[in-house]
């Protein structure tokens, strides 16, 4: 499946209406972005079940600002509408494939439980209690490959 262009008009609907969405935030002047593009395109061909979106940060500055993207390329992954990965830098083909496999086998029930705990901690922090700060990244847990339960 070819990559799709994401804009401020379709970003939310694409992320929320597809089980897994990878997003490549890129800029035309960025050398690493140009080198990462064929790797990303190959992943889109290899995984038609995953939406591979691209955001041209020069054409979508408001969307980039909303997502707090300041380095290029930045790769984000959404699973069931939840941001499960966000990291700047171009990935090699094998690293991108490993990331895709980890996202495919994420335990989303566990991710939701952890998000709920973080939300509770955030409410405590807002009330003056010490809370744990976090940054987006691959959900914790050991990656599982193959059929679930093997």
Q: How many whole angstroms separate alpha carbon 133 and alpha carbon 150?
A: 34
Q: Which residue among the candidates 15, 22, 27, 30 is catalytic per the annotation? A: 30
Kindly give, in sequence order, each residue whose CB lies less than 8 Å from that of residue 123, ignoring residues fewer than 6 positions away: none
Quick check: is 33 catalytic? yes
Quick check: is 36 catalytic? no
CB 6 within 8 A of CB 54: yes
Pair of tokens at residue 43: 């992943």
Q: Which residue among the candidates 23, 33, 75, 96 is catalytic per the annotation? A: 33
Helix axes 31-46, 93-104, angle to 10 degrees: 50
Kindly give, in sequence order, each residue whose CB lies less than 8 Å from that of residue 55, ignoring residues fewer than 6 positions away: 5, 6, 7, 11, 23, 24, 25, 26, 63, 64, 67, 69
Q: What is the set of active-site residues?
A: 30, 33
């Amino acid at each position: 499946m070819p990559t799709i262009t994401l804009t401020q008009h379709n970003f939310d609907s694409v992320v929320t209406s597809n089980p897994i969405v990878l997003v490549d935030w890129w800029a035309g002047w960025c050398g690493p972005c140009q080198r990462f593009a064929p790797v990303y395109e190959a992943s889109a061909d290899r995984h038609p079940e995953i939406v591979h979106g691209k955001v041209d940060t020069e054409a979508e500055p408001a969307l980039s600002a909303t997502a707090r993207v300041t380095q290029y390329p930045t790769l984000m992954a959404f699973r069931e509408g939840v941001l499960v990965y966000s990291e700047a830098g171009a990935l090699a083909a094998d690293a991108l494939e490993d990331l895709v496999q980890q996202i495919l086998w994420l335990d989303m029930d566990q991710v939701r439980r952890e998000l709920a705990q973080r939300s509770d901690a955030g409410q405590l922090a807002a009330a003056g209690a010490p809370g744990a700060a976090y940054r987006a990244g691959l959900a914790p847990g050991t990656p599982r490959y193959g059929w679930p339960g093997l």
